[in-house]
Chains A and B, each alone.
Chain A
Amino acid sequence: MRLFMFNLGLAIVWQAVSGSFSLGGLLAGFIVGYGVLWIAHPLFGGSPYFRKLWRIIGFFFYFVKEMVIASLRVAYDVVTPLIHARPGIVRVPIEARTDLEITLLANLINLTPGSVTIDVSPDRDCLYIHAMFIDDPDEFRAAIKHGIERRLLELMR
């Protein structure tokens, strides 16, 4: 996080030196600053920042892909005459522990079409998720656990 702030600071300095403020310039400054910090990174003692930035970008694309696939599935069910949905509420045990992790996980699940987090159990051990296509509840639990939750926790920890 501290390195991210450094990186942003370097981007702003880059803007100040080049004399004009623009989004493209800010992005260029950020990339140059990232390079500079990467060259200097032995000084900061093995920060996870360099690995994490790529993971965040990867996570973003993974998430967009999931969202489009799930949207197409819901859309298919809306436009075809028969309703193929097999909806239900599944109790999914989670490994996320802190408030921030649980909130982010629940919101990301909400964002993928075909699943809404309805409730968190009082002991914060599981989420109750309403999903539109449940062929096998165990498979659904595994998909959440090994898909989005694993990736999210890799980023957070």
Chain B
Amino acid sequence: MSVLLLEILTAALLLGGAAFSLISAIGVLRLPDVLIRMHASSKSGTLGAGMILAAVAVLYGTDQIVARAVAAILFLLLTVPVGAHIIGRAAYVTGTKLWPGTVMDELRADHERRECEKQEREKRERGQEEREERNP
């Protein structure tokens, strides 16, 4: 009886994980811009991989396999959000166009102001270096 229950649970987790992985793959193809694609690729992918790992842990249930599955899930949870943040930020900072359907962008103004300040600071520093070169 309990073997049957375990098998049903394993099957449900495997199918669910596979479905989430498939949907995130389709999402990467279908969604309109980088930042929205990131939502599909990173997060649903993690959930899919996590469910498949959990299925393995449930089915075999020995210490070594459970420990490895839990460690793998923990590493996914630690690394995926950092990767998602860095890719998203890199895409934004390099000026990737957002989807025209984007309803609001409260970062644009602040980002441009910061860029302006940075350029002015660099110009000032360059001017100072040139003056120092002329009269040492």
Interface of chain A: mostly helix, strand, loop or mixed: mixed
Q: Is the CB of B106 within 8 A of A132?
A: no
- Contact partner, B82, options A85, A107, A112, Cβ 8 Å: A107
Residue A118 at the chain B interface, CB threshold 8 Å: yes
In the bound assembly, the distance between CA atoms of A121 and B111 in angstroms comes to 9
When distances are taken between beta carbons in the complex, the residues of chain A under 8 Å from B39 are 74, 113-116, 132
When distances are taken between beta carbons in the complex, the residues of chain B under 8 Å from A8 are none
Interface of chain B: mostly helix, strand, loop or mixed: helix
Chain A residue nearest to B16 (CB atoms) is A68
In the bound assembly, the distance between CA atoms of A91 and B31 in angstroms comes to 23
- Contact partner, B26, options A79, A90, A132, Cβ 8 Å: A79
Q: Is the CB of A71 within 8 A of B63?
A: no
When distances are taken between beta carbons in the complex, the residues of chain A under 8 Å from B85 are 106-107, 110, 116-118
Indicate whether A88 sits within 8 Å of B44 (C-beta atoms), given known contacts A78-B27, A119-B89.
no
Q: Is the CB of B102 within 8 A of A87?
A: yes
The number of inter-chain residue pairs (CB within 8 angstroms) is: 125
Residue A22 at the chain B interface, CB threshold 8 Å: yes
Q: Is the CB of B92 within 8 A of A119?
A: yes
Q: Which of B17-37 contact A (CB under 8 A)?
A: 20, 23-24, 26-27, 30-33, 35-36
Q: Which of A52-109 contact B (CB under 8 A)?
A: 67-68, 70-71, 74-75, 77-79, 83, 85-91, 106-108
Chain A residue nearest to B64 (CB atoms) is A23
Q: Is the CB of A83 within 8 A of B84?
A: no
In the bound assembly, the distance between CA atoms of A34 and B108 in angstroms comes to 50
Residue B66 at the chain A interface, CB threshold 8 Å: yes
When distances are taken between beta carbons in the complex, the residues of chain B under 8 Å from A45 are none
Q: Is the CB of B23 within 8 A of A78?
A: yes
Indicate whether A88 sits within 8 Å of B104 (C-beta atoms), given known contacts A74-B43, A83-B32, A132-B39.
yes
- Contact partner, B66, options A23, A71, A110, A115, Cβ 8 Å: A23
Query: Which residues of A line the B interface, CB within 8 A?
Result: 22-24, 67-68, 70-71, 74-75, 77-79, 83, 85-91, 106-108, 110-119, 121-122, 128, 130, 132, 134, 137
The 4 closest A-B pairs by CB, nearest first: A110-B81, A113-B43, A88-B104, A78-B27
